[in-house]
Structures are given as C-alpha cells and as structure tokens.
A and B are shown apart, each in its own frame.
Chain A
C-alpha cells in the first residue's frame, strides 16, 4: 500500500461537486500537482446544464483561488432579489411576488443582508472554474471519459464495467428482465463491487490514486457499476425529473427594463428575477392522449415551470416527473404549451432561442439514496450521490454539490494524513459529516413536503381554482359584488361538476388535509 501512487486524489467530473472537492483538498494542504480532475466535456462545462439557480454562498470558501467570483465568473449571471411563485391554468395566471432588499445585500432589517442566490449558466461557470483550478496548480483534463475504476488485484481487462449495469442481450421483458451481470462469474462481480479502488482506467491505461472521488453527475454510470447505488435505480422512473429548458436571448437592456432589474455597477452585479410555477395546462392535451392510448388513462403529467433571468438571456423551462408522463404526450410538447401560455409568452416576446436542452434531476429524497457513499479508496459526491433537495419552492442540487465536495475534501485530506483511506475511515469522516450537514437535515425535515408536492391537486384543479377565484375576485364588471368566500365556493362547485374525478379531491375534508400537508413546506 505504501508504494507511491500517481496522484493523491483523482476526481471524476469537473462540475460543482468535483471542483469543490479539488479546491477543498488544496485548502487542506494537498499539493495541486497531486490532484487530478478529469472531465468528459471538451470544452469543460459543455456537458452541463441546469435550470438554474445557485443558492447560498458556498463558493466564498474558495476566494483564495477564485477571487471575486460574483463579479468575475462569466456564468454567474444575475443576483436574484425578486422571486415569484405562480399558478398557471389554461386561462389564468396568479402570482405571489416578492422583492427583498436583504437579498441584494443593500440593507433591510432581515439578517443576513447578503447576496445569496444567482442565476447561473453552467457551461460558462464550469469552464471558468476549470481555468481557476488550473491556475491554482491542479491537473485538469477535459474530453476524458472514464469507463472503469482500477480495482486492486483485478485485471481491468477482465470485465467491462457496463456489463454490471446493462440489460442482457437475451433479456426477457419487463419484470422478467435479465441483466448481463447475472451471467458474470460471482467472484468477479464481488471483487468489482467490494474490492479496494485504487485509481482509474482510461483507454487501458491505469492512473493510480489514494482516493477516487466520483462526481459524475446525474447519469451516474460509475456509481451504479461500482455499486454505490443499486443498478435497479437506473431503470426506475420514480423520483426522476426531466428538465427541459430553452435559453432565450432578449438582450441586457430589455431584460433590465422588462423585469425591473438593477443593471449592475462596479461593485454590485445586476439583479434578476426567479420564478417557479405550478402548472395545470395539460388537461386538453392529456385527454386527447388518453383517447389514443387508453392504457394510461387518468395519468396527468405533473410539471413545474421555471423562468430565470440571466444577464442577457432568460432560462425558460419545465420539469416533468417522469412517472407521471402518460403515453401519447411528448415531453417537448409539454414545454411548448408552457411557453405559449400568455403569461410566459409575454415575458419572452421578441426573444430568440439560442439553446435547447434536457437534463435529468434525481429527486431521491432519503428513501432512495445510494446505499453507500464510500468504498475502500473512493467516495461519491453531488448529484451522483443523489444529494438533491426538492420541496417545490426550491430544487437545490448545486449548493448541495458544492457542500458535499467540501466535506469530501476535508475528509479525504484527513484520511490521507492518517494513512487510512478505507471505507470505514471515509465513513467516519465524510459520511458522518454529510449526515450531520444541512443537506441531510433538509432532506429529513422536508420528507413530508413531498407528499404535498406530488399531490395531483397541484397539477390539476388547484391552479385552476386559484386562478378562477382570483379572476373573479379582482374583477369589476359593473355588477353586484360577490364576497371572496362565496366566489371560492362557487368556483369549487363548478370544477367539481365539470370533472367527476375532481369531485372527491375537492371535498372539504380533502381540502383541509391538503392544507395540513402544505404547512410542512
């Protein structure tokens, strides 16, 4: 074990989790030339995509290496001080809107008064971070995809890591599906799944390290092949979200004006707006699909919309719960319906789409986390470890990725100094600190919130009920006025009548129960 390895640490993936790990290792005193970061994207960042908003000031920890990231990093677009939450139904849109002085860091009585959320464009952010890593002396290699980890005492030519997660060629169907891994010798599988990891294999060449950090992101191929996570998770659409986004160019001035943004000066970055929406837009589309494909009749696509202002573009997209997608509906058509809604169309009017993309987002919560975060000589961080928090108001993965990377960096430096990088030692440091961190505390506390958020009401009649009620309460048409309460119950009655399926869900007890679930948000 004491023979010299090529590197102290190899990090797979130069996203937020990987970069945070590498920077933290530097901070803990590991030399830059003993750290290797490999990334499959070339240029670095080219494979990454997000909604997206970065919450928190986790990057502050690395100002020694990245300086004034708020002002200098090209992918950190606008500081969000203006938040909107909305309900869109086919005809109406109702928003709750807040503007907060303390989010600007310009004052207010709310503490801390500091900038704490940014719209980001990851292709640019990650490229910049990679530059900074190189400047700090870390080895960074782009355009390198890692297919295999090096297992001590095992010839890497003896197996293909894909065989451990792929379905078998002569596979059965559905539940009877067979896996290639079942045809492999038990001993080999056991060795791959439980042996000591001592580096990576690239094009048949081994590069050794004391610790390998897997920061490969949401399509966690290595995480599953090397059994941090069960391979069955790979084929479960439960708790997997698909994000679809367009980046639409509007121009900086137009965004400043249209969204009432502070344009930015030498000291303060431009401000921006972030909006998240519950969508009930898909009734007609779903009904048509059910007619053609009755097998999923009654399944209603559960989608959320998001809309963020960047410096001279906006990020406009939806996030779809894959398990709720009925047959007959293309995900990109769901996006189009969102974009065409009058409330959204007005915001992007005159803009030009410059990029389209899709990305998965794990929403495992606690119950579907990988079953281990460490192995002898390796650990997993960020999205690959499923460290994404979602409660409907926020989906947070990026700050969790940064935070888990920091914890990993600290733990690894400690374990290397002690000369013990076994799973046990890494668990006692990394896993322990991870479970004590806000990442896990949030996941625990907001577990009940997922029940509310997955409630079909949020994607069917609730936005409609809110929309129609607001429509009539706010409107004056020169007739006798009706009190709000009466309007609400009137709308409820209409909606119940229209759709028998809603009827039960809109009973008073059900409404009360929904409210009780909602208070856990």
Chain B
C-alpha cells in the first residue's frame, strides 16, 4: 500500500488486495464477462475503469491506447455492467463452481 507524495491523494494497491481472494478461473470460452472493446474506442468517460473495484479494466488511465480487459480478477460485483452505457459489457454470473470464492464474506 503506497501513499503518494501529495497530501490527500491516495492509491490502493488493489492487486495486492485481490491476491487475498481465492478464484477458480474458468476457461476463456466461458468467460462470464465479455467486453466488446471496439466500442470502448469512442467512449468518452471510461466509467467502467473508474467504477471497477478490482482493476479489471485498464485504459487511458494507465496510458494505454486501447481498452484492456481481463476477467481473472473479477469479484463479480456487477459495477461495470451498470456503468457502461455503450453496450460494450455483456455480463453474467460465472458457471457454477467458477469465479470468486470468499472465505469470510
């Protein structure tokens, strides 16, 4: 967990936090979220990037030219589906037995 030099600005090492959770990642063919990243090219707001608590969406915020989505760290909260108004996110629960497993909840 690093604290940026400016007072009042904070960044959370989210990947560190995600490392604490158990996942059973399904194969690519059965990914529970499918993002049509072409539609992201014209998106002006990237609200999925800002909303996602698991940093599954990486785009201009990380200096990338195009949307990079990776489903593996998904905590299945549903925020991206709600934030996307471009029709790019197709969201479902993972197949039974796959995805995140909380030990505490």
Contacts and interface: CB of A to CB of B under 8 A. Distances in A.
B75 to A, nearest CB: 5
B47 A327 contact: yes
A329 B77 CA distance: 18
B28 interface: no
A177 B85 contact: yes
Contact of B77 (A234, A340, A360): A360
Contacts of A328: 50, 61
Interface magnitude class on chain A: 35 or more
A325 B51 contact: yes
B49 to A, nearest CB: 8
B84 A337 contact: no
Contact of A355 (B20, B79, B86, B94): B20
A123 B101 CA distance: 9
A235 B81 contact: yes
Contacts of B61: 328, 330
B79 to A, nearest CB: 5
Given A242-B53, A322-B82, A178 B87 contact: yes
Contacts of A329: 50
Contact of A173 (B1, B39, B92): B39
Nearest to B46: A327
B105 A75 contact: yes
B47 A325 contact: yes
A145 B32 CA distance: 12
B64 interface: no
Interface string B78-97: 11011111111111111111
B10 A322 contact: no
A253 interface: no
Contact of B82 (A90, A124, A360): A360
Interface string B1-37: 1010011111110100110110000000000000010
Interface string A22-60: 000000000000000000111101111110000000000
B77 A358 contact: yes
A166 B61 CA distance: 27
Given A285-B10, A333-B12, A356-B20, A46 B83 contact: no
B19 to A, nearest CB: 9
A325 B45 CA distance: 11
A199 B54 CA distance: 35
Interface in A242-265: 242, 244, 246-247
A179 B6 CA distance: 45
A420 to B, nearest CB: 32
A236 B20 contact: no
B86 A174 contact: yes
Contact of B79 (A284, A296, A360): A360
A247 B86 contact: no
Contacts of A144: 96
10 contacts: A49-B102, A167-B87, A174-B86, A177-B87, A242-B53, A325-B51, A331-B51, A332-B12, A336-B1, A359-B77
Interface of A: 40-43, 45-50, 75, 90, 121-126, 142-145, 147, 162, 166-169, 171-174, 177-178, 218-219, 221, 234-237, 240, 242, 244, 246-247, 281, 283-285, 288, 293, 295-296, 313, 322, 325-333, 335-337, 339-340, 353-360
